[in-house]
Amino acid sequence: MTYKNFTIETDADGIALVTWDMPDKSMNVFTVEVMDEIEKILDQTVADDGIKGVVFTSGKSSFSGGADLTMIKGMFSMLEEEKAKDPAAAVQKLFDAAGRMTWLWRKIETCGKPWVSAINGTCMGGATELSLACHGRVASNAKSVKIGLPEVKVGIFPGAGGTQRVARLANTQDALQMMTTGQTLSAARAKAMNLVHQVVEPGELINAAKQMIKDGLKPVAPWDEKGFKVPGGGIWTPASAQLWPAASAILRRETAGNYPAALAILKCVYEGLQVPFDTGLKIEQRYFTEIVQTTEAYSMIRSLFVSMQELNKGARRPSGQPKSEIKKVGVVGAGFMGASIAYVTAAAGINVVLIDRDMEAAGKGKTHSEGLVAGAVGKGKMTKDEGDKLLSLITPSDDYGTLADADLVIEAVFEDRDVKKAVIEKVEAVLPEGAIFASNTSTLPITGLAKNSKRPVDFIGIHFFSPVEKMMLTEVILGKETGDKALAVALDYVAAIKKTPIVVNDTRGFFVNRCVLRYMSESYNMLIEGVPPVMIENAAKFAGMPVGPLALNDEVAIDLSYKILKATVADLGENAIDPRHMELVSRMVEKEERFGRKNGKGFYDYPAKPAKKHIWPGLKDFYPQQKPDAVNVKTLQERFLATIALEAARTVEEGIVTDPREADVGSILGFGFAPYTGGALSYIDGMGVKTFVELCERLAKDYGAHFTPTPLLKDMAAKGETFYGRFDPYGEAAKAA
């Protein structure tokens, strides 16, 4: 029998090597077709008396990334369509669909012949669950091996036996930690947790897997044997009596109750360990069916799984543009941002010329990369040879003539129009015809900067976020005259350095910074109202933000906020800002000399380690303080989320953001907007635009006109629309189909 996605070779010892190698895909993923073929292979190998066991492996550099986009989309589409006809039948169909993988893996586990999973590269989600259902597991010791159950990061949880098998193999604390955080394991760590039996050299992977079968591997899972005991003794032990209350408390502290899937993991493990294994699988299946129906799961999967993959694959790339061959990039400005841009570019294997006013300044920029490389080598994330190769691609220079053969030049100089004008003119004097010029400005409109260019059609914005090597988002900004080629090259470059791009039209602050400034601005309002600073920070975290607005302002730098306020007044007039904000920030900078983390003094104090940062006690003396009991924490949470979501809606209304996927992904990756909501626009869609408008009207009445819902929101509320409905990113494709 032949298969589309698998090959089977049986050796002289009767061991069938099943190799998963999907045609036309760079990574193996689970589809309905793949699962159907696995079941047929299972039936075929069981029926064949000549086959003594099965080794299951991948023909690609990675094992599998888990479920396919189309399968995930199909599950939600089915649920939506069926619920409209018969809600009860829809849930039953969802329950059955959720159990498809669960019971197929159980069928492998109980088939009577030993299966060994030979793991190379990435092994995530359902692929890890398949491996756990095999009777033996061998992993390569290559650094590329990553084993994990990351489902909680997209709003669901390991629902194909993961919660039951991990908790029966590893100790309960490690199992909960792994699954509730979506932790990725190295092969060695997986072995230490008892999730993998052997770790071998890459070239020995298949031989070692086959040897397990030759050595008499029992085709029975530990929990199917009489007398099996859960590691640590199970639920009813003194150790568990200490573990479970602590686990619940830690989860509450880390998630503020915002992630139903994380809590469902605790429930699945706690309940599942008290019953027979098959009953545990049914418990898991029921919880999974429940979680998939939540707004959080729908929104997170759409934004953090589906939309992010679509954007990474070039959803916004203009059609008809050939793929760019970016061989050399110039970075002008060897300060912190420019040096970091040079580092990520070289890490992608691209030659970089790092230019500054003199060789000393340019050399300092390369020193930054040397420090990053030394840190990576020291942590074992990079070999010395890999580090040396990366550094060899960075050439510091003070000669603009070295850009004469660059494909792309990125300026990352000081945020000053005159400084940038001088750089643009110097670069264009040597830049070859057809090469692209990009500005890394964080606030200055691209159209205005492009007026200094002789070829604005080749001028674009590429806005990086700090620290560049860690932040996954990049804003690509279109000036009024930016052409399709410039956009295509920018997106190809962002893909090469493995960042997620969002494409936005030109405006002051673009998308991310406009939203971030609203977040920090609302914290100023709260300080002025006398809300205790600690409550401001905690309310933001309870709302799902990773960092409180005052801590974020310290990271950004309070003196930078001061410069932005002054620049806004200079460009737009006194009425463009709240004078109370100017008074607060100018006092912090000019009177108190508190600039933020960079000088160890901001809204927080930053004592020497090991002491932790803490709110500056003097801050509470700025304004008369409200009593904590008089402050409604839920309202504080609503204010933070609503003010950001309102700004995101304004950018759509102004035509700055044209694709809701980009607003959602950009808000989460750019500044950590409450990921459980699916992003700023999904937050609105999730509660319903009408409900959001009512919330804003209430907040506007109590806390100021800046909460007034926009005309677009009122119109959408009246028509019962959503952002993903009105601004459907798939609309044109659907019509074409």
Tell me the pLDDT tens digit for each residue of 696-730.
999 999 999 999 999 999 999 999 999 999 999 98
Residues 493 and 524 in one domain: no
Q: Are residues 416 and 527 in the same domain?
A: no
Question: Looking at the domain assignment, is residue 317 inside a domain?
Answer: no
Residues 43 and 147 in one domain: yes
Q: Based on the fold, state whether residues 337 and 448 are members of the same structural domain.
A: yes
Is 323 part of any domain? no
What CATH number should be reported for the domain holding residue 109? 3.90.226.10
- Considering the candidates 463, 581, 614, 706, report the single residue annotated as catalytic: 463
> Do residues 554 and 466 both lie within one domain?
no
Same domain, 349 and 425: yes
CATH number of the domain that residue 488 is part of = 3.40.50.720
User: What per-residue confidence (pLDDT) applies to 75?
Assistant: 78
Q: Which of 475, 508, 541 is the last residue of a domain?
A: 508
Q: Is residue 552 part of a domain?
A: yes
Instruction: Note the pLDDT tens digit of each residue in 260-280.
Output: 999 999 999 999 999 999 999
Q: How far apart are CA 211 and CA 585, in angstroms?
A: 68
Residue range(s) defining the domain that contains residue 279: 6-293
Give residue for tokens 């463009």.
576
- pLDDT at position 160 is 96
Same domain, 540 and 428: no
Same structural domain for residues 490 and 536? no
Closest CA to 605 of 533, 704, 670, 653: 533
In a domain, residue 278? The reply is yes
What is the domain count for the chain? Answer: 3
What is the per-residue burial (b if ≥16 Cβ within 10 Å, else e) of 671-682?
Answer: bebbbbbbbbbb
pLDDT value at position 415?
A: 80
At 76 the pLDDT is: 79
Do 203 and 340 sit in the same domain of this protein?
Answer: no
pTM given for the model: 0.91
- pLDDT of 734 reads 42
Domain boundary at 293, 313, 343, which?
A: 293
Question: Which residues of the chain register pLDDT less than 70?
Answer: 732-737
Do 523 and 668 fall within a single domain? yes
Q: Mark whether 146 and 216 lie in a shared domain.
A: yes
What contacts 375, CB < 8 A, 6 or more positions away?
none
Residue 68 forms part of a structural domain: yes
Asked if the structure places residue 282 within a domain, the reply is: yes
- β-pairing, 15-20 vs 6-10, is antiparallel
Judge if 495 and 532 occupy the same domain.
Answer: no
**End-of-domain residue from the set 508, 534, 567:** 508
Say whether 197 is catalytic.
no
d(CA 348, CA 358): 26
Alpha helix (H) ranges present in 573-656? 579-586, 633-653
